[in-house]
Amino acid sequence: MDKMMVKNLDLYYGDFQALDDVNLAIPENQITAFIGPSGCGKSTMIKTLNRMNDLIEGCKIEGEVLLDGKSIQELDVNTLRKRVGMVFQKPNPFPMSVYDNIAYGPRTHGVRSKAKLDDIVEKSLMDAAIWDELKDRLKKSALGLSGGQQQRICIARALAIQPEVLLMDEPTSALDPISTAKIEELVSTLKKEYTIVIVTHNMQQAVRISDQTAFFLHGQIVEHGTTAQFFSIPQDKRTEDYITGRFG
Amino acid sequence: MRKGFDAQLEQLKNEMIVMGSLIETSIAMAIKALIEQNKEQAQKTIAFDEQINQKEKDIEALCLKLILQQQPVAKDLRTVSAALKMITDMERIGDQAADISEIALLLADSPYIKKLEHISLMAEETAKMVTNAVDAYVQRNLVKARNVIDADDIVDSYFDAVKDDLIGMISKDVRNGSQAMDLLMIAKYFERIGDHAVNIAEWVEFSITGVHRQSL
């Protein structure tokens, strides 16, 4: 079943067209990877999925994005972002304790009970595979953690508001190989409960963790299919050239 | 882009051509030893197998290096993985040419009960199959690969002809039985070489299309 659908989507930053007639289905409980060279529109696309582009001046969007069959434009933006969470390239924990980082979202959404918040923090940190490392340091500042730990805090923070879809924009590009491996393993586990969309420059990462891959070029999707098929028998010459490193 | 990688892939293709020609040579040497009842030639063929084994190891090492260094995908991955599979069958063909020569040594001292007409044709056909399969790999020529697969029927029909001839020889005189058994073994080895050539061609087909027919 498709959790999200992108239909005939055009996106302009002023006069520049960043996305050109994008059509894409994002299946539920699967990991969809967006790949493509810098400036191809993949980050713009992922941000469009929870309306992060709304804030950008001069950004105009045509076409539609559906979440469970309903246009995201018709949803309240806070509700949308609660349902479609996001993790960014650079870990960006808030300058507060580990606990408060995770509790921030639920508190914003009105959860006040200490016991409930404790539960959420524990479950989120467990789901983000970092509970064992941090359970004794919940009151310490999140800024003192390693990059890999900070990124998992950000994932836990996104999970704390129980989203349905998790968007990840190059979540491991700033991390060392061990932290990267932990995040990849984590993402593979999370797909049981969440639908995940990940932008990555690391093609081996796309091969390792994703079920679906979409290749963006000049704002268009050149090819989209199951990852196994995509990296074994790409249908389009441009895809073949890109993934085999013979692009341009 | 990726000049070093392309150079390594080119090297792989060249090595495959070399291994293909070694096999062609070993089949030619084996049939020569057999037909001429030449013991020295048979010994040479048996020793020659070592060169094929070494080439298999060299190509295997090159493929593993390519995978490790370049992490190939798509067409490149198929080119490398097909080579890894092909060399196993190619190495087996070398073994069988040596096996044929072992029997040739045993047969060298007494005259043949019949002319080795079909066996010669089998040798010729299988050597051609191997060469064409390797050419198809290097040229990415699907038609050529499929022609190799089809050619197996020719080799099989020669095998049947050899078998029928030998049964006839045994019926005529049971004392022909011992040599007939040895010749049948040889024919069977050539028939197996044909099967290995088909396996090779199937991997060539995979390297081009991305689909292996046995997986369908």
ipTM above 0.90, yes or no: no
Where exactly are the structural domains of chain B?
3-215
Question: What's the pLDDT score for residue A247?
Answer: 78
Crossing angle of the two packed helices B117-139 and B74-107, in degrees rounded to 10: 160
CB contact under 8 A, A234 and B74: yes
**Contact list, A246 vs chain B (CB under 8 Å):** 1-2
Query: Per-residue confidence at A40, pLDDT binned at 50, 70, 90?
Result: very high
Q: Average pLDDT of A85-96?
A: 93
| Closest partner CB to A240 (pick from B71, B74, B211) | B74
pLDDT of B216: 78
* Those residues with Cβ within 8 angstroms of residue B176's Cβ, 6 or more apart along the chain or in another chain: B113, B169, B170
In angstroms, the CA B170 to CA B178 distance is 9
Residue of chain A whose Cα is closest to the Cα of B211 = A233
Pairing of strands A70-71, A165-169: unpaired
* Helix spans in A39-113 (H): 42-48, 77-83, 98-108
For residue A135, the Cα-to-chain-centroid distance in whole angstroms is: 26
- Residues A51-79, mean pLDDT to the nearest whole number: 94
Structure token pair of residue B50: 């070592």
User: Which residue of B lies nearest to A228 if distances are taken between CA atoms?
Assistant: B74
CATH for the stretch B3-215:
1.20.58.220
Chain A residues with CB inside 8 Å of B72's CB?
Answer: 244
Q: Minimal Cα–Cα distance from B203 to chain A, Å?
A: 15
C-alpha distances in angstroms, B17 versus A134, B5, B9, B13, B127?
A: 58, 19, 13, 6, 13
| pLDDT tens, per residue, chain B with 216 residues | 688 899 999 999 999 999 999 999 999 999 999 999 999 999 999 999 999 999 999 999 999 999 999 999 999 999 999 999 999 999 999 999 999 999 999 999 999 998 999 999 999 999 999 999 999 999 999 999 999 999 999 999 999 999 999 999 999 999 999 999 999 999 999 999 999 999 999 999 999 999 999 887
Which chain A residues touch B211 with a CB distance below 8 Å?
A: 233
Q: How many helices (H) and strands (E) does chain A have?
A: 10, 10
Helix (H) or strand (E) holding A240, with range, is: helix A237-243
Widest pairwise Cα distance in chain A: 57
How far is A81 from A48, CA to CA, in rounded Å? 11
The domain made up of A2-92+165-243 has a fold known as Rossmann fold (3.40.50)
Find the DSSP H helices in chain B: 3-35, 39-70, 74-107, 117-139, 142-172, 177-209
Torsion angle in degrees (nearest 10) through CA of B163, B166, B170, B173: 170
Asked if A232 and B77 come within 8 Å (Cβ–Cβ), the reply is yes
In angstroms, what separates the C-alpha of A244 from chain B's closest C-alpha? 6
φ/ψ region of A69 (left if φ > 0, alpha if ψ in -120 to 50, else beta) reads left
Q: Does A238 touch chain B (CB under 8 A)?
A: no
Structure confidence at residue A15 (pLDDT): 93
